[in-house]
Structure 1
C-alpha cells in the first residue's frame, strides 16, 4: 500500500480561520487540488459564505485566491497515511500534521474549523496540550460520503461567517 500525502497548507499572514480536513481523497490527489471530487460540497459552501456563488466554477487558483482574500486557510490533520480509497475510516498509520506549529506561525488566526468528524477527532488530539487558544469549530463533512442535505450543511457551516473578512 502506498502512503498518501497531504498538500502544503494554503495560508498566509492574513489567515484568520484555518479549515482542516483529514487527508485528501483520491479525486483530489489525482489533480493536486483540495476538495476536487465534483460532489464534494466544500466549494459551494464556501461560495455561499463568501457571497461568490460561482466560486466552484472558477479555476482552482482563483478559488484559492478568493479564500485567502477573505482570511481562509486550508490544510489537513494528517500529513501522511496509508489508505485504500478515499474514506476516512480507511486511514491507517497516520502521521499527524504539525498543527500547533502552523497555528503558531499565523499571527491573525482566530479559529480552526474541522471539516468532518475524523478531522475533528484527530485535530483536537493533535492540538491538545498546545498553547493554541483559538476557537475550535466542528463542522459536518463536506464530503459526499456524508449524505446530509446541502441546506443543512450550509446552515451549520454559516458559523464561519464572523471570521470572513
Structure 2
C-alpha cells in the first residue's frame, strides 16, 4: 500500500479558529482539494454557517474561509490507507502534522474544531497534550457521507458552533 500525503493548511496569519479533519479521502487527494467528495457536507455546511456562496469555485471558497479567520488542515500529514475510510488507516503509518510550528505561526488561534471522531481521537492523543492552555477544542459530527447517524440539518445545527 502506498504512502498518502495530505495538504498544507489553508490559513492566514490572523486565523482565530482551526478546523481539522483526519486525513483527506481518495476524492480529495485526486482533486487536490479539501473535502472534494461530492457527498461530503463540509463545504455546504461551512458555507452556510459563514455566509459564503457554496457554488463558488474551490479556490474562492478556500480564500473566503481564510479571510474570515478560519484555518483548515488535517491532524495527519501522511499515512497508508486503502480507500477513504478513517477506520482503514494503518495505525503504524500515521504521521502527525507539525502543530508546534503551525500554532507558533498562527498565535491567534483560540479554538480548534475537529471534524469527526477520528480527527478528535488523533488530536487528543497527539496534539492536545502539548496544546497551549488558552486554546479550546471540540469535536463536531463528521461531515462525511459515512456519518449517516446525523442528517445534514443536524450537522448544520451543530456546526453553527464555529461562529459562536
Q: Indicate the TM-score class for this superposition, using the shorter chain for normalisation.
A: over 0.9
The yes-or-no answer on 1:10 pairing with 2:10 is yes
SS at match of 1:89: helix
Q: How many residues align?
A: 160
Unpaired segments of 5 or more residues in structure 1?
A: none
SS at match of 2:108: coil
Say if 1:20 and 1:74, in contact at 8 Å, map to a contact too: yes
The yes-or-no answer on 1:140 pairing with 2:144 is no
Say if 1:35 and 1:43, in contact at 8 Å, map to a contact too: yes
1:78 match: 76
Q: Compute the TM-score of the two structures, normalised by the length of structure 2.
A: 0.93
- Once the two structures are overlaid, the 10-residue window that deviates more, 103-112 or 87-96, is 103-112
SS at match of 2:83: coil
SS at match of 1:129: helix
CA RMSD of aligned residues (A): 1.1
1:60 match: 58
Task: List structure 1 runs of 4+ shifted beyond 4 angstroms.
Answer: none
Say if 2:5 and 2:77, in contact at 8 Å, map to a contact too: yes
For 2:104 and 2:129, the matched residues in 1 are separated by: 13
Q: Compute the TM-score of the two structures, normalised by the length of structure 1.
A: 0.93
For 1:128 and 1:48, the matched residues in 2 are separated by: 29
1:97 match: 97
For 2:151 and 2:131, the matched residues in 1 are separated by: 36
The yes-or-no answer on 1:40 pairing with 2:45 is no
Unpaired segments of 5 or more residues in structure 2?
A: none
